[in-house]
Amino acid sequence: MDRNLALELVRVTEAAALVSSQFMGRGDKNGADGAAVEAMRRAFESVKIKGEVVIGEGEIDEAPMLYIGEKVGSQEEGTMEVDIAVDPLDGTELIAKGLPNAIAVIAMGKKGSLLNAPDTYMKKIIVGPKAKGVIDLDKSVEENIIDVSKALGKKTTQMTIMVQDRERHNYIFEVARKLGCKIRMFDAGDVAAGIATCFEETGVDMLMGIGGGPEGVITAAAIKCMGGDMQAQIYPLSDEERERCHQMGYLDSDIEKKLTIDDLAKGDDLFFAATGITEGNLLKGVVNIGGNKARTESVVMRGRTGTIRFVNAIHNLDKNEILIDLMKKYNME
């Protein structure tokens, strides 16, 4: 795929971040999410791809969400057919409360490269490049922590495990504490938490737990671009979620299957882009800097080369047509 698509994807995540940032702390998570979706959809119009959303936020009758099966991009003849996985606002509760680590994210790959995961939960283990090849979802929490610690050359007491703050993860908390690990809890924002494992400056050694399935696929694309590792299993927590899997063609054997990172994101023709919305561990949030201008920070990755770029941009909000139009729509001029 054309390497210039990387910057095009950043423009799309920037649009979603700029618009949704206007809702920070206003308690309106649905308004923020809807605005981010519309901004992303508008920004995609100028990207020269034949894109189809395989990981989205809803079904076709749940507009304005970017629904599974929706066509995005210019759709011009001769342009590449690609899978698109999007989360225009990863962390709706975070933006509503003005909390850290809300981001706008996109993963993209050649057609057929991204797993069409059902909108259910997914069990995950994620590590950075130094621990690639040592994780195994079939092993216990204790075995995985010890194996990763050996790969990193650390004692378990020097390990930091990222775990979502949910009761369903008590089994992880108990084992990690018994081994003396540090635990960094997060409330929301699966994607940002997952990719933190691949940046040494975050201090995060691994992520374990049960989180969103669609977010798992988006995260897998980023982890693969960075040379990290991930294993997952579709993990419905209710009969309703299991039925949703069946409706998408998943058999019970598919649900129980251990998924490697190559099952989640095939090949190396992958791109990942994210823009910070609120201040985070990895990316700074949108900051208004006066003169009706705003600064954004983004990261963009390319699987084929393993290149990771951080993009800092200053936006003139008076000339941003998408922002102007949507602020009028939401009465936030």
Whole-number mean pLDDT of the chain? 93
Answer yes or no: are the C-beta atoms of 90 and 189 closer than 8 Å: yes
Give, in words, the CATH class of 5-114+269-330: alpha beta
Percent of the chain with pLDDT over 70: 97
At residue 61 the predicted structure's pLDDT band, cuts being 50, 70 and 90, is very low
pLDDT for position 247: 87
pLDDT for position 64: 54
On the question of pLDDT at 174 being above 90, the answer is: yes
On the question of pLDDT at 118 being above 90, the answer is: no
Is 57 annotated among the ligand-binding residues?
A: yes
On the question of pLDDT at 60 being above 80, the answer is: no
pLDDT in tens, 1-46: 677 888 999 999 999 999 999 999 999 999 999 999 999 999 999 9
Q: Which sequence spans correspond to the domains of the chain?
A: 5-114+269-330, 121-264
CA dihedral 107→111→117→122, nearest 10 degrees, is -50
Q: Mark out the alpha helices in the chain (DSSP H runs).
A: 5-20, 29-44, 92-97, 141-152, 170-178, 190-195, 213-225, 239-247, 252-256, 261-264, 321-329
Fold: same for 5-114+269-330 and 121-264: no
Domain made up of 121-264: CATH architecture:
3-Layer(aba) Sandwich (3.40)
Is 33 annotated among the ligand-binding residues?
A: yes
What pTM does this model have? 0.92
pLDDT for position 63: 44
Q: Are strands 293-302 and 81-90 parallel, antiparallel or unpaired?
A: unpaired
Calculate ∠ Cα 129-135-140, nearest 5°.
150
For residues 71 and 58, which has the higher predicted lDDT (pLDDT)? 71
φ, ψ for residue 109, nearest 5 deg: -150, 170
Structure tokens at 36: 């981010």
Calculate ∠ Cα 219-224-229, nearest 5°.
85
Is 90 annotated among the ligand-binding residues?
A: yes
- In this structure, what DSSP letter does residue 26 have? S
On the question of pLDDT at 156 being above 50, the answer is: yes
Of 190, 275, 175, 201, nearest to 232 (Cα)?
190
Percent of the chain with pLDDT over 90: 81
pLDDT in tens, 242-279: 998 898 889 999 999 999 999 999 999 999 999 999 99
Cis? peptide before 214, omega within 30° of 0: no
On the question of pLDDT at 287 being above 80, the answer is: yes
DSSP, collapsed to helix, strand or coil, labels residue 312 as: strand
pLDDT for position 299: 97
Residue range 280-286: mean pLDDT, rounded? 92
Among 62-66, 146-150, 290-294, the range of highest mean pLDDT: 146-150
